[in-house]
Chains A and B, each alone.
Chain A
Amino acid sequence: MDRNITETDLISYFYNECDNQIAAHIKSNLDYNPQWIDFLNDLQKVADLMKPTINPHATSVQIILEESLYEENHSI
């Protein structure tokens, strides 16, 4: 690696969107860089608390499905 790893590299690494060479470098040097681990832990913490878990009300889904039927019946 001919440059330092930045926090934006760590963000890309965390979300598996990193260049392979940079990802390999981060992985092999993680143990020697506690500040990287801290930053990755913060990303993990935020990701864990922002999981998509809330569903729309069943009525909303029903309205959508009825609309999809209505369109079908009237466009043929």
Chain B
Amino acid sequence: MIADGVLIKRYLEGNQAAFEALVKRHKTRIYSSVLAIVNDHYLAEDIFQETFIKAIHSIRQGKYNHEDKFLPWALRIARNLAIDLIRQKKRLPMVITSDGQDLFQTLNIFDKSQEEIHIETDEISMLKSWIHQLPEEQKEVLILRNYAELSFKEIAEITNTNINTCIGRMHYAIINLRKMMEKSSVKIKY
């Protein structure tokens, strides 16, 4: 496998296919992580695009100096964008429908692929809802470790903490998820 740093170097030399390979390599982990953080397909698509556009600008301006660590770097950009968008969304007045739902959430006209619908089992849906009940810092470590497959060291760098704090947050996340599983009628199979 060609290293990220080599692909970026080739892209800067004019090789467009190298950049396409970089996008192809990381798109699923970045998008899955962003979607898990914001829990909204529209926002996730926006953040995903904006992340790569910012990355392109930085690379072309010669500001990329992370060698083969493209994924943690891109996820740091994505995380910052997600935090900004969530803050903006919180400042917006919520439009409540007659049945008490947030209008923004009920306008779910995003077309899920057939594959995605099949994947959305009860277990995954339950886990997603439990994850969104976790404190932000616990949720973040869980997402970045599992969806993005970053090491605790990389997560510590992104979140400006240390490895022990990250593992501690993961520990509390698992404890809390265990409690939620025990309370729930849906049991997660081994």
**B20 an interface residue at 8 Å Cβ cutoff?**
yes
Q: Is A61 an interface residue (CB 8 A)?
A: yes
Interface SS majority for chain A: helix
A1 interfacial by beta-carbon distance below 8 Å: no
Q: Is B31 a contact partner of A71 (Cβ separation < 8 A)?
A: no
Partner pick for B53 among A42, A44, A51, A67, CB 8 A cutoff: A67
User: Given known contacts A53-B32, A53-B119, is B168 in contact with A68 (CB within 8 Å)?
Assistant: no
A17-B151, A54-B35 given; A45·B188 CB < 8 A: yes
- Among residues of B, the one whose C-beta sits closest to the C-beta of A75 is B60
Number of interface residues of A (CB under 8 A): 34
Given A46-B127, A54-B31, A54-B32; A65-B20 close (CB under 8 Å): yes
- Over the window 8-37 of chain B, the binary record of Cβ atoms lying under 8 Å from chain A Cβ atoms (1 yes, 0 no) is 000100101001100100011101110110
B60 touches A56 (CB 8 A): no
Closest residue of A by beta carbon distance from B14 = A72
Q: How large is the interface on B (under 10, 10 to 19, 20 to 34, 35 or more residues)?
A: 35 or more
Q: Does A28 contact B (CB under 8 A)?
A: no
Is B66 at the interface (CB under 8 A from chain A)?
Answer: no
Contact B48 A60 (CB under 8 A): yes
- Find out whether the CB atom of A56 lies under 8 angstroms from the CB atom of B171: no
Complex contact A64–B148 (CB within 8 A): no
Q: Which chain B residues lie closer than 8 Å to A69 at the CB level?
A: 16
Sample of 19 further A-B pairs with CB below 8 A, known A54-B119, A65-B16: A8-B171, A15-B151, A15-B152, A42-B174, A42-B178, A45-B188, A45-B190, A46-B174, A50-B131, A50-B147, A52-B29, A52-B32, A52-B149, A55-B27, A60-B49, A64-B53, A68-B11, A68-B19, A71-B60
Q: Can you list 25 A-B pairs, Cβ within 8 angstroms, ordered by A? A: A7-B171, A8-B167, A8-B171, A11-B167, A11-B174, A15-B152, A41-B190, A46-B127, A46-B146, A46-B177, A47-B146, A52-B28, A52-B29, A52-B149, A53-B28, A55-B27, A55-B28, A56-B27, A60-B49, A61-B27, A63-B49, A67-B53, A68-B11, A72-B14, A72-B60
A residues sitting closer than 8 Å to B (CB atoms) are 7-8, 11-12, 15, 17, 39, 41-47, 49-57, 60-61, 63-65, 67-69, 71-72, 75
